[in-house]
Amino acid sequence: MAKRAPSRTTSRQAIPLAPRIATPFPASNTTPAALPTPTATDPDLDRTPCSPSQCPQYCSTPITNSTTHLIPSKRHPHTKRFFSIPPTSPGTFVLQLLQNRYTDDLSPDPSKYIWQPYSPTRQYASALIGLSGCTAIFITSARGMFSAHIWEVDPNTNEDLRNANYLSTMRKLAFELAGHREELVGGDAVIILPTKTGRPGTRLYAREIVEALVRTVREGSGLVPREQEYGPLDWKRSPGFGTYERGMAAGQYDPRYKDPGTGKVGPAVRVWSENRLVLERSYGIEE
């Protein structure tokens, strides 16, 4: 079961949003080119789909105490609390992140949708490992975070992104987003989407499925989502998958982030896709 941090709203008014560090993003592509017809040489035909039947084998690796990686923990003071991920081991970091009581695990079956209002005193994170064909969504604002993990294939519930099921899955996503639009005003939305194996820039899902995802997030949150691509690995051909950066994603919030450059303190968020920092933003800082 996911480890849910206690949900509680705060009476504190939302702090005016202000970008902190401008991170470059690839141009959003809401209408990707039509995918070519698969051939016998298409490596994706041999890739094991990302599904609940495979995930326990490959993305539930026991977490060990490693002395190889210098990974900060929640016990560090504010200057270290905001997830200073070592650039060579972000996947290992997420394994540790998932041990913390304030972190929601997006991995379990069925597809998962979580809304968490922020606390003025408590850190929060939502994360998963072993992403290999599924889709992750992180929507942040000054008031909370909405995160989701949608399976590529889920024979248990059919709540997935197969051609026969994606429209009903979009209705479920819209339902889960309903009621949070005002809380997400002024925020940011990121959709982490798979490409075809070995084909950067060529989406795994057909155009209409990607368009449906973007439209549902845009209409449900009121925000234009940024699309971040990742290249899925084949479970069976990737020893150690789930213990390093490939296939990891995380959204993180710290109410008392201390800017290492200015020393100022304030709430801030980050969204990671594998070893890429795709969003970093603060929501007002104190002197």
Q: Which residues pair with 125 in a beta bridge?
A: 103, 252
The lowest-confidence range among 64-68, 142-146, 185-189 is 64-68
Provide mean pLDDT across the span 6-23.
34
Is residue 14's pLDDT more than 70?
no
**Structure tokens given for 62:** 């026991």
C-beta neighbour count of 10 within 10 angstroms: 14
Cα distance between residue 212 and residue 268, in whole Å? 30
pLDDT digit string, tens, across residues 109-149? 788 999 999 998 888 999 888 888 999 999 999 999 999 99
Provide mean pLDDT across the span 40-44.
53
* 135 or 235: which leads in pLDDT: 135
Q: Which of 17-21, 177-181, 276-280 has the highest mean pLDDT?
A: 177-181
Q: Which of 33-37, 70-74, 203-207, 255-259 has the highest mean pLDDT?
A: 203-207
0.85 cut: is pTM over it? no
For residue 247, give every residue at least 6 positions away whose Cβ sits within 8 Å of its Cβ, in sequence order, or none: 59, 91, 129, 130, 131, 132, 230, 232, 233, 241, 274
